[in-house]
Chain A
Amino acid sequence: MKPLEDYLVVDFSQFLSGPSAALRLADFGARVIKIERPETGDICRHLYTSNVIMNGESSVFHAINRNKESFAADLKSEADRAQVWELVRRADVVMHNYRPGVMERLGFDYASVRAQNPSVVYGEISGYGPDGPWRDKPGQDLLLQSVSGLTWLSGNANSGPVPMGLSIVDMLAGAHLAQGLLACLVRRSLRGEGGLVQVSMLESAIDFQFETLTTHFNDGGQLPQRTRHNSAHAYLGAPYGIYQTQNGYLALAMGSIPKLGELLGCPALLAYPDPKQAFEQRDDIKATLAQHLRTNTTEAWLAVLEPADIWCAGVLRWDELLQHEGFRGLDMTQTVQMTDGYAYQTTRCPIRLDGELLTSAVGSPQLGQDNARLQQEFMTSNIAQHD
């Protein structure tokens, strides 16, 4: 049994942040209905990455929207709105990621929905919060990385700002929305109350940096300083970083510098016996380590370091990872199928409940594929009422 079986989620959101939260709810067992604009649908359907098109639509749309239904409706048409209301009235969760003010204009804002559905749990994601001077700016991942200071944490000291190379802020905002919705569903199950959950990409990006921002608030407001080379965390000392070896790369996390010197046969590292030096002289230590680690293979270094409990790992590419027994044992992939028979491989929900994997064979929906069925299921009684 999945925890959200019998829950109905009506999702007006697009792109990644909101739909990734709805995907999580779907994998927990909820029935998720996407409300999409006729003709074009969720804009993400045509937001291609590296021009990869699967069954006529973008690969990322298929990743984000599997295990969902699609109801195409023009929210400006009275007839369509009435049908959407039939869904919204029965929903346990209603969510969207329009900019502040848009849902009020469309008439499906929290106050309006709650008036018809008092115990609804209503979620929304904005770019920069419901008010404030930036509320009307586009809530787009790279822009949020840029204004939240995040781009000064990765890369080396002379790299300039370095973004994280995936839509990290969208992912986090979606994860936070899912947390808030689940927490309010817990409250509803205990006390019968509905609730409003609001998340913004900027608040999520700040929360992501809670450790480094708290440090910034308490270190006199200094800026993060990345190391000259092999930087992996602006606030950590040597050896923390990734180093080139004779045949690849080696990741080294925390570890005593003199002990590393002994194990690696690098006497120059014995000159740093005080743990404070690992932070204060990290550029020099890293330069020495980098030069030394190039003299042998990744496997050779791992063979010395792992038995000594030094935290280290080889650096894998996806093809190497996917072939590794450690990955295959996770059963992290699943094949899903669309209603037209098109099947594709994707990942599964990362959480296990009662030792079971939360999988589903349902692929992403074609735009509006469920209109007829949903009309029959939810709207006939309404039509009968009007008779």
Chain B
Amino acid sequence: MNGEPVVRVENLHLWFGMLHVIRNVSLEVAPQEVVVLIGRSGAGKSTLLRCLNFLEQPSSGSITIDGLRVDIPMGQQPDSRRVRDLRLKTGMVFQEFNLFPHMTALENVIEGLVTVKGMSRDEAIPIGEINLARVGLSDKRDEHPIRLSGGQKQRVAIARALAMEPKVMLFDEPTSALDPELIGEVLSVMKQLAYEGMTMIVVSHEMSFTREVADRVIYMDQGEFIEEGPPDKIFGEASDPRTRQFLERVF
């Protein structure tokens, strides 16, 4: 893991009114690295993730992804074209899937290629099919989301993000909305992605997944990084009492 980091966050702040939700966070993620953010709800994990593609507008700081730097001068709107370019370098998977219900699985996957990247449908369809195959859903290509199980929906959502060839995948609690028996299929797709060398930032409570796949675990509390390290270290011998307390309660 060397070379330029794929993601670099510098001195990021986010305020919701008088709530300081993200407190001066800096983060670098190397190519092919898998970072898992853990922490109690309200700690700012999802918010931080959503700042990376500006679904949440940070209050100040800077975000660089794959060499494209977007500065947020305090209290100002960043350039919207740059924000859009930055979003194209990220793929996001949501807790609630957020598939487009009026499109089939395949149409969901190729939507960005056609509308955003300007490909013709004929060009986009093979790419869509490849990505549906990657998540094991080739046979569902013509189904609307309403006909898919939660696990299948989430896998289509992953395929939709992958089709855009992002430099980093952001997973926002991708299994939290799933029935227990459907979690495995989503996690195994994510594992496979990690082994293929995808750079990933994951907000997750899945202990065994984190142990197996994460290169680095970051424990967050009150909008700050409290402790970070390889999973063995964090889960085995966390040095900060807050981290230990959290891990005891959750796992």
A binds B: no
Using CB atoms and an 8 Å cutoff, list the residues of chain A in contact with chain B.
Answer: none
Residues of B within 8 A of A (CB): none
